[in-house]
Structure formats: structure tokens, C-alpha cells
Amino acid sequence: MEELDEKKLWELAVAAREYSYSPYSGFKVGAALLSRGGKVFRGCNIENAAYSPTNCAERSAFFSAISQGERDFEAIAIAGGKDELISCYPCGVCRQVMAEFCDPCTFRIICGKSRESLEVMTLDELLPKGFKMQD
């Protein structure tokens, strides 16, 4: 995936953020998950009055994709912030879900607060020595 495509994927995360349901934190997050087949699955964070049922944008995107039969992923872009976007990285729970389905050395996570300041990391960088099925 070229740099241009990473920017495009991040723009789709920004668009997905518009659907965020976050009346409790006011922190809106969008994610765009790219499959190896070139499909994009979007997700947003969905909060709840009981707090703990809240789902992050990243997991919403993964669960949507997996529910539609997709299991082969290339990259995810994330855009989050209250009124303004900030550099928003996936939480530990989402990193663990990524580890279930993605190759840690090749799956890329794209974060940033603007098209011009995107950071691209592998899952292995964000979740080194993760716990996996074979463990």
C-alpha cells in the first residue's frame, strides 16, 4: 500500500467518525479496516449508559468485517478526538482483537491527527509478545 492509499484509508476513518455514538465521553473515533481483497470496513465507537458495553471504533470495524466473512486484513486507519482530532492509538483490548486475526509483522496501523502527520506502525510494534491461540 502506498502513502496515498494510507491517506485515503485515513480519510475513510475520518468519515466513519461522523457516526460515532459517544454522548458520555464526547470522544469520537472512526476506523477504516482494509482487507487484502481491497474492501474497506468502517467502524465507530458506540457507548452505553452502563459504560462497560462500549465498543471501540476499531473493534466495530473488525466485528463488522468478520461478520461479513472477511478474515484477511492488511491495515487499519484510526481517527479520533473530541472537537479536534488528536493522535489516537488503539487501546489494549483492540490490539488483542487485532492479534487474533492479523499477522503482527505485516498488519499496519495508521494513526494521526491530519493527512500530513500520519504514523504507520505494525501490530508487532504496538503489541509485542502478544498472547495468541498457539500459546
Q: How far is the CB of 96 from Zn ion (least distance, A)?
A: 9
Is residue 6 near ligand DUR by the rule CB under 6 A? no
Which 40-79 residues touch Zn ion, going by CB under 5 A?
Answer: 56
Q: Is 54 in the site for ligand DUR (CB under 6 A)?
A: yes
Nearer to ligand DUR, 9 or 56 (CB): 56
Residue 2 or 100 having the CB closest to ligand DUR = 100
The CB density around residue 50, as the number of other CB atoms within 10 Å, is 7
Closest separation between CB of residue 108 and ligand DUR, Å? 16
Say whether 18 is catalytic. no
In DSSP notation, 10-68 reads: HHHHHHHHTT-B-TTT--EEEEEEEETTS-EEEEE-B--TTSTT-B-HHHHHHHHHHHT
